[in-house]
Amino acid sequence: MRWLLIVFTGLALMLSACSKTGSGEKIAVVHWEKVLQEHPQHARLQKLKDEYSLLLDKRREQEIVGKTQMSSLAKLHQLKRNSKQNFLSADFFARMMEKQAAEQEKLKQLSGQFADQVDKELAEEEKKLDEHYKLRLFNLRLKLDTVRMIPEERSRVEAELKTLKAARDRDRMLLMEHKMGLVNQRMQPHVEAMQQRLDAYARQLQGQMMEEMKKGTDDPLLKKAPGALKELLGTIDEELDKRQQGIETLETSIKKDTESIVIKLAKERGYSIIFHKYRTNVSADDVTGDVISGLKKLAARAEAAAALNKKAPGSTAGK
């Protein structure tokens, strides 16, 4: 009596075979994955796995959506409780922005009026400034355009013109800053009055919001959400368990069918070892095609038996 060793991935089946121990061990190899893929039920198994994956993805998606919704509800509830604001916050900011825009427009018009007043008040001073530099700049430009000078003299006149322009620009800037200072000084009381009006309006809106909040801050959806999500996921988990059991049952059936054919071939041909894939420096018979043929015959017999079972009730009724 000797032992038949069928070597699969992480699996070794020891089966007895009727022959005497000898030095020439017969070895075979079968491409296990290829054989499993050729099983008549493999397409059905793959379909079950795909459906399981789709359902699992749906479960994950439902969990993410549910937790996101609960998180949003919790944040809203926390916002109402801690900051004493509710969904009217958006309306509050919108009204404040509208009010501020209207006040800013009034200030803009008032600022333009004050700027015109200051321009009129300082018009004489601005005129004197321009007159102060106008003649001197004219004389220097005229001298450069009409008088022939040595290079050194021309450079000196150009430098003087540049310095004079810079002084004029500086005085103009000082006058402009003076104008802006006067405008800002006259605007200051109006700016303060505007801010007071905005603060009063904000307090009014906040009072209205507080009254709305007192009507109730409990969120029934937030209380029901965890239970509803748990129930939904529980239903999906039950379906996943059923499908997983179906996949495992079919996988076991496919493996048993394949193993039975491999064992039958080994006994018929006297193989002592059957590898699930080739090993280095091992000479072995490839029985993959024979196993696939055996699976097809097994499937054909199963189909014939199913056809007879289906036909039997009809035949009996006819008699």
Is pLDDT larger for residue 192 or for residue 68? 192
Indicate where the chain has its CATH 3.30.910.20 domain(s): 2-68+222-318
Q: What is the mean pLDDT of the chain?
A: 80
C-beta of residue 289 within 8 angstroms of C-beta of residue 38: no
Looking at residue 111, its pLDDT comes to 93
* Model pLDDT for residues 14-41, shown as the tens digit of each residue: 333 333 334 467 888 888 888 888 888 8
Tell me how crowded residue 201 is: count the other CB atoms within 10 A of its CB: 15
The H or E element that residue 2 is part of is strand 2-8
3-state class of 298 per DSSP?
helix
For residue 207, pLDDT beyond 90: no
Nearest to 128, CA basis, from 175, 81, 170: 175
CB-neighbour burial class of residue 4 (10 A; exposed 0-12, middle 13-18, buried 19+): buried
Q: How confident is the model at residue 317 (pLDDT cuts 50, 70, 90)?
A: very low
For 29, the token pair is: 């190899």
Radius of gyration of the chain (CA): 48
Rounded Cα distance, 271 and 235, in Å: 50
Rounded Cα distance, 70 and 232, in Å: 14
Residue matched to tokens 């509710």: 86
Looking at residue 3, its pLDDT comes to 41
Nearest to 17, CA basis, from 313, 303, 297, 274: 274
**Could you say which of 3.30.910.20, 3.40.50.300, 3.20.20.70, 3.30.530.20 is the CATH number of the domain covering 2-68+222-318?**
3.30.910.20
Nearest to 32, CA basis, from 13, 48, 14: 13
For residue 314, pLDDT beyond 70: no
Rounded Cα distance, 89 and 150, in Å: 77
Rounded Cα distance, 246 and 254, in Å: 12
Rounded Cα distance, 91 and 221, in Å: 23
Q: Output the pTM of the full model.
A: 0.46
Rounded Cα distance, 136 and 132, in Å: 8
Looking at residue 211, its pLDDT comes to 81
C-beta of residue 70 within 8 angstroms of C-beta of residue 226: yes
* Model pLDDT for residues 101-138, shown as the tens digit of each residue: 999 999 999 999 999 999 999 999 999 999 989 988 89
User: What mean pLDDT is predicted for residues 227-253?
Assistant: 87
